[in-house]
Amino acid sequence: MHAPIPPTRPARSRPSRRGVALALAVAGALAPGLAAPPTVRGDDPSLAAVRRRLEEADPAARAAAVRRLSGALDAASVQTVVGVLSDPHPYVRRAAAGVLGIVLDGGVRARLLKEGPAWKDAAAREALVEAFDGWGDRDGRTGLLRLCADRSPEVRAAAVGALGADADEAAGRALVLAASDPDGGVRAAALDAIAVRAKSAGATRVEARWEAAARDRDPRVRLSALEGSVAAGGEAAVFAVAHGLDDAVWSVRLVAAELAGVVRDRRVLAPLVDALRDPRERVAAAAGASLVRLTGIPFDPDPERWGAWLAAEGRTFDPSGVASRRGPPPEAGSRTAATVKFLDLPLASSHVTFVLDASGSMAERDAAGVSRWDRVREEVDRVLERLGTSAEGNVVLFADEARALFDAAVRFTPAARAKVREALASRPPAGRTALYDGIARALEDPEVDTVVVLSDGAPSAGRWFTRTDLERGVARANRWRHARIDVIAIGADDVAKRWRTLLHDLASTTGGRLLAR
């Protein structure tokens, strides 16, 4: 009888990754043009060398070490890889999941299916979701179905999300069951997965209770229900948009305002006109853009003008008979205090967090002998004074790790500005660049709808530091926020092209803007 293969390291929870990319992560770790290293066997002394590298401080080194074990694993190698599923760093856990995700040996698979769901470490079980998803076959589905009943809601949500691409009837039944899970995150993940499944021509049909979900107590569920309802169309879409525009949570209202433009029904016009008075600038701007799209009328997002139109010729207007028209995006900052700008970037909202690169490269000085950091300090002080107490937000500094200056968003009062000045003056730039961690910390605050990132370098530290991982990590962190991310790239010409395009993509995928300085 085989001994159990429990994971051995404590770990934090981490986001999951979709299936096929697991194998690519293993293959992509090898330098182009080089052959893969030979498989490491349990009786090979090189396994001891791999285990020594797994004790190194650098997570990239540990990830590279575990990838050397990919291939035909024996019992000792499997034991080692499984232990790495509990590594403290998510990048290393993902590498281990990638190794297990290409396992073909039936005996190894049987042990993982039997023992994995009983492991004590939730982070390891969540990593196992990626391995099962990577198998992409009946065994993988069996593992995911078992983890849908896991005691950890994070593991259940990850497993449910992975089943969205599975057209099998058993996967569909699991998604319907998960849509009633006690945890809101699991319910939202189930609705997302059902929406993904609906796009698969070969999937068995799954009915989602969109209208009931739109009234769920959890805003994540309401947001997923809104998106799923609009995708389904018909009466469900009209109800979801009208209901969503009146939601208590700004992110749900924002998504409703954005999606209303594809619901070509006159019943959404009056709620959209009302949304032009929304206290959130981004919601009002999105409502105006959807009205232009539905009517073809290039009005500014002026509630008085649109209200007059709705009371006159708009009384009988039918959007279904008019071609969709995309008007120009509203000018950023049109409803903020005198369109405040941060280094020539107009601020799109008065609910904003500034995410500032405080790494060592920010100490670089210009011809006048002034460092980049000192320039940023001066600009932050000026902008916060201009915003005043009508705005709220936070300031996040990132280098080797990220730290917010306030526990949650605050009004930019004189006292708050003084604290920011003191913190920036006492913090000389040093360390590497944990870009993801800075953005993720800003996105934790539910009151912030706009994030302004300033950086002069490529990510080199933190939770995620490869381009693909960072983009996926930000997308997950922003799933329920729908925050706009604006980016100011300092010294952009000194940064490699792939990182310049990363900054551009982070901004453009959220409706933000990249400003190169």
**Domain shared by 71 and 127, yes or no:** yes
Q: Which helix (H) or strand (E) holds 342?
A: strand 341-342
Cβ atoms of 340 and 352 within 8 Å: the answer is no
Helices and strands (H, E) in the chain, number of each type:
23, 9
Q: Name the residue among 19, 14, 206, 35 with its Cα closest to residue 91.
A: 14
Does 14 map to a domain?
A: no
Question: Rounded distance, CA 153 to CA 145, Å?
Answer: 14
Let me know: does 1 contact 148? Beta carbons within 8 Å: no
312 and 414 belong to one structural domain:
no
User: What pLDDT, on the 0 to 100 scale, is given for residue 62?
Assistant: 96
Given 321, 354, 369, which residue is the final one in a domain? 321
Residue 175 lies in a domain: no
CATH for 241: 1.25.10.10
- The CATH number assigned to the domain holding 414 equals 3.40.50.410
- Any residues with CB less than 8 A from the CB of 99 and at least 6 apart, and which? 26, 66, 67, 69, 70, 73, 81
Dihedral over Cα of 342, 344, 347, 353: its sign = negative
Same domain, 347 and 246: no
Question: d(Cα 476, Cα 157) in Å, to the nearest integer?
Answer: 12
Clarify whether residues 296 and 392 are in a common domain. Answer: no
- Which pLDDT does position 44 carry in this prediction? 55
Same domain for 399 and 260: no
Of the chain, the percentage scoring pLDDT greater than 70 comes to 88
pLDDT of residue 456: 84
Same domain flag for 296 and 411: no
Q: Which of 147, 163, 194 is the last residue of a domain?
A: 147
At residue 179, what is the residue type? A
Instruction: Specify whether 495 is located in the same domain as 347.
Output: yes
Q: Mean pLDDT, 10 residues at a time, over the chain (517 residues)?
A: 43 36 35 36 68 93 94 84 96 96 91 95 97 96 98 98 95 96 98 92 86 95 97 93 97 98 95 97 96 94 96 92 63 55 94 97 91 95 94 97 97 96 96 96 97 91 93 95 94 73 91 91
- The alpha carbon of 446 is separated from its chain's Cα centroid by a whole number of angstroms, namely 14
On whether residue 97 sits in a domain, the answer given is yes
State how far the Cα of 26 lies from the Cα of 501, in Å rounded to an integer. Answer: 24
Q: What pLDDT score was predicted for residue 283?
A: 97
Domain of residue 293 covers 210-321
| 355 and 490 share one domain | yes
- What residues have CB less than 8 Å from 54, skipping those under 6 apart? 62, 65, 66, 80, 84, 87
> Do residues 327 and 289 lie in contact, with contact meaning Cβ atoms separated by under 8 Å?
yes
How many domains does the structure of the chain reveal? 3
d(C-alpha 426, C-alpha 75), whole Å: 53
The structure's pTM equals 0.86
Between strands 351-357 and 450-455, the pairing is parallel
Which runs of E-coded beta strand occur in 344-490? 345-346, 351-357, 392-398, 402-404, 410-411, 450-455, 484-489
Cβ neighbours of residue 110 closer than 8 Å, sequence gap 6 or more:
none
Residues 349 and 316 in one domain: no
Instruction: Find where tokens 């460092």 sit.
Output: 371
What pLDDT score was predicted for residue 83? 94
Asked which of 128, 147, 166 is the last residue of a domain, the reply is 147
Does a structural domain hold residue 255? yes
Residue 204 maps to a domain: no
- How do residues 429-484 score in pLDDT, each as one tens digit? 999 999 999 999 999 999 999 999 999 878 999 999 999 999 999 999 999 999 99
In-domain check, residue 199:
no
Residue 42: φ, ψ to 5°: -60, -30
Domain assignment present for residue 128? The answer is yes
